[in-house]
Amino acid sequence: MKPETRPAGIYVHIPFCVKKCPYCDFYSIIDHSLVKEFVNALTNEMAMYSDIGLLFDTLYIGGGTPSVLESTEIHRIIKKAFSLFQMTSDPEITIEVNPGTVTPESLKSFRQSGINRINIGIQSFHDGNLKFLGRIHSAEEGETAIKRARTAGFTNIGLDLISGIPGQTGKSWLTDLETALRFEPEHLSCYMLTYESGTRMHKDLKNRKFSSLSESLAVSMFGSTGDFLEKNGYIQYEISNFARSEEKKSRHNIKYWSFIPYIGFGPSAHSFYGKRRSWNRHNVSDYIKKIESGTPPVEGKETLTREQQIIEAIFLGLRQKSGIDISFFNDKFNVKFGDIFREIISDLSKRELIVICDDKCALTRKGMVLLDSICAEFVCKELDIEKA
Ligand code: SF4
């Protein structure tokens, strides 16, 4: 089935957090005075798209920290989405939560609202790491949140973990993974700490307030993650994402990597539909004002050129364990992948960085560590061809 004809996804961005983590570059604020107006605006924004004519099979409530909202507000958002949009009979409904913001009651209430997947921002099971990351919760609170989510009836729990934290060792990272597995999560997202420009951590690093972990150690942690989790029965399906079975892969996130349409609501949310990408205003007050004046809060939009689509197909394809679907690529762009990239494929195959198998071009574990530079090689070659 073509990506554009597959069921689409709904993303809802809740832009509130208890505290800003110094490494985070997502749009979120700690002033909660506009929460009520925001929820009204959000449901009104959804209503502006009620005639979109798409079938949806995922609803992802992310942020920010959605769990800072009252569970009645979360319930209202879900109810609104279901009343406005056509949903399949078995949608995946996810909420992201911070362990410092959930109670047994709120978790139970989320479950009763129809949420069937919960993603818990654990980040680490070591208090020292959590302190460095500026998280509001302790390791113990993280463990308690997981247990409470199970008790509340969640059978699809995802945990987020971060590696590459200064002071972390290969051994302490493996302990984090082992601790996570004790809870038998259905899904794990293991991200490497990055220092995004504009964040406080980036500034502190530049001002030498701390030193980052050596690149070789960070890379070796990344490599050991895949080996360890695969040995323990997890399927790696994207560079940072692992699932305990095919059904537990994040149906929603797969849309981002597969050209499947998704519509984003809330400040800074992105949408992708057809060849068009758009994004909302980042500022909550501006967002609310726009909607109150009856205007969609879209800040920008672009129609992807053929060149942008090719670049995106390479980046998104190589991020996924399954790799670039060569027939799909050839049909979509009317080219011969094997011919265009013959030299690169031969070179990267010899260096054991990619494999071509079953009509797919995929990175090896060794290649995944070098994702950015390998993508850049493909893209430079493609740009040469487009210019020729
Ligand atoms: S809780 Fe999550 S969204 Fe909020 S600041 Fe921290 S990392 Fe960012």
How many whole angstroms separate alpha carbon 180 and alpha carbon 342?
42
Question: Which one, of 330, 320, 314, 308, lies nearest residue 378 by Cα?
Answer: 314
Ligand 1 atom nearest to 17, measured from its CA? 4
Structural domains present in the chain: 3-257 (3.20.20.70), 306-387 (1.10.10.920)
Ligand 1 atom nearest to 121, measured from its CA? 2
Mean pLDDT for the stretch of residues 325-332? 92
Q: Is 20 in the pocket of ligand 1 (CB under 6 A)?
A: yes
- The 3-state DSSP class for residue 166 equals coil
* pTM recorded for the entire structure: 0.94
192-217 pLDDT, tens per residue?
999 999 999 999 999 999 999 998 99
Q: How far is the CA of 22 from the centre of ligand 1 (A)?
A: 9
108-119 pLDDT, tens per residue?
999 999 999 999
Q: How far is the CA of 53 from the centre of ligand 1 (A)?
A: 33
263-310 pLDDT, tens per residue?
999 999 999 998 899 999 999 999 999 999 999 999 999 999 988 899
Mean pLDDT of the chain: 94
Q: What is the pLDDT of residue 70?
A: 96
Q: How far is CA 251 from CA 51, 192, 197, 201, in A?
A: 24, 22, 30, 32
Q: What is the dihedral of CA 197, 203, 209, 214, to 10 degrees?
A: 10
Long-range residue pairs from 194-201, CB within 8 A, at least 24 positions apart, any chain = 194/23, 195/23, 196/23, 196/25, 198/25, 199/22, 199/23, 199/24, 199/25, 200/20, 200/22, 200/23, 201/22, 201/23
Phi and psi (nearest 5°) for 163?
Answer: -110, 170
48-80 pLDDT, tens per residue?
999 999 999 999 999 999 999 999 999 999 999
